[in-house]
Amino acid sequence: MRKVGIVGAGAVGASAAYALTLMGTCKEIVLFDVAPGVAQGKAIDIAQAGYYAPQDTIVTHADAPSDMKNCDIVVITAGVPRKPGMTRADLLMINAKIMKSVVGDIIENSPKAIIICVSNPLDVMSYAIHKITGWNRNRIIGMAGALDGSRMAYQISKVTGLGASQTGSLVIGDHGENMIPLPSKVQVGDIPLSELVSKEDMEGIIERTRLGGAEIVKYLGTSGYYGPGRAIAHMVEAILNDTQAIVSSSVLLEGEYGYSNVTVGVPVVLGKNGIEKIIELELDDATKAKFKISVDSIQSGIDILTENNFFKG
């Protein structure tokens, strides 16, 4: 079918639909949003943009979650942003409740789907979706490293002056302030990055990648959406076309990297089954320590949900 549902037709959801339509990756894209008219208006606009795409895509909207049926992949970008006076716990609970309702509809209407979670806080929301569905972990994938990696490649390209498309990228850990960009492990073309830039440059790349999202917020007053939208489309393409692409993603660990029952960003292979394989990198002690900080920060978010009885009933 090559049918993709996108729940939340805001900035990121619509950008993903637009990117997918221009790429001609899907047969059908269905948008749904709780805000009246938003999904319908954007679906019409994007469908018309598709006239110039290499391949036709049917872009429609769903009036109700039950109208979004039998999707191969459902992308969740529904959520609310943090507002003044809202604590981290408030935001966590609000977005987790949105996940519960959205995922309940997916279980009912697209029981065989692979879910790509985009809503923040990404790693904790991905964990919540695991617990709500009880599905095999290969079918629930958090989008984080795909975007953070594109931001890293952008920073590398700015330093080297070399084309970003030939630049590798690798970011692990949480999708937040403790993310761990690993430029020392990537290549540009076939050349290790460490042979092209200085140690100081490498540090700068790490820092600017970590702050990549905040830099956009500084100028726009809101977070980016074209980059996230295209990163989602890359993951959808990898799954629908079974490309076996390596993409860092937030996944449920079951012993890998020494952790269990927590979702965190690590490199995975994406293909027709969703996560085909988790790649376990050899990490040095300093990186292991950073990874633990990342995992601990995600676990503290999961703990907030547990303390507020989110997983009960």
The backbone torsions φ and ψ at residue 257, rounded to the nearest 5 degrees and listed phi first, read 60, 15
Task: Check binding of 12 to ligand NAD (CB under 6 A).
Answer: yes
Task: Check binding of 294 to ligand NAD (CB under 6 A).
Answer: no
For ligand NAD, give the closer residue by CB, 202 or 249: 249
Q: Which stretch binds ligand NAD (CB under 6 A): 49-57, 75-83, 180-188, 261-269?
A: 75-83
- Residues 199-238, one symbol each (x = binds ligand NAD by CB under 6 A, - = not), give ------------------------x-x--x----------
Number of alpha carbons in the 13 Å side-chain half-sphere of residue 220:
12
Taking CB under 6 A as the criterion, the residue among 4, 5, 6, 7 binding ligand NAD is 7
- Residues 173-202, one symbol each (x = binds ligand NAD by CB under 6 A, - = not), give --x---------------------------
What is the DSSP code string of 24-45?
T--SEEEEE-SSTTHHHHHHHH
Tell me the closest approach of the beta carbon of residue 69 to ligand NAD, in angstroms: 16
Task: Check binding of 147 to ligand NAD (CB under 6 A).
Answer: yes
Return the amino acid letter for 254. Answer: E
Strand residue runs (E) in 138-200: 140-143, 171-172, 180-181, 187-188, 191-192
Contact 254, 137 (CB under 8 A): yes
Contact 125, 142 (CB under 8 A): yes
Task: Check binding of 129 to ligand NAD (CB under 6 A).
Answer: no
Task: Check binding of 101 to ligand NAD (CB under 6 A).
Answer: yes
Burial status of residue 108 (CB atoms within 10 A of its CB: 0-12, 13-18, 19 or more): exposed
First-to-last CA distance in the chain?
A: 34
Tell me which residues touch ligand NAD (CB under 6 A): 7-13, 32-35, 38, 77-79, 81, 98, 101-102, 118-120, 122, 143-144, 147, 175, 223, 225, 228
Query: So which residues are the catalytic ones?
Result: 175
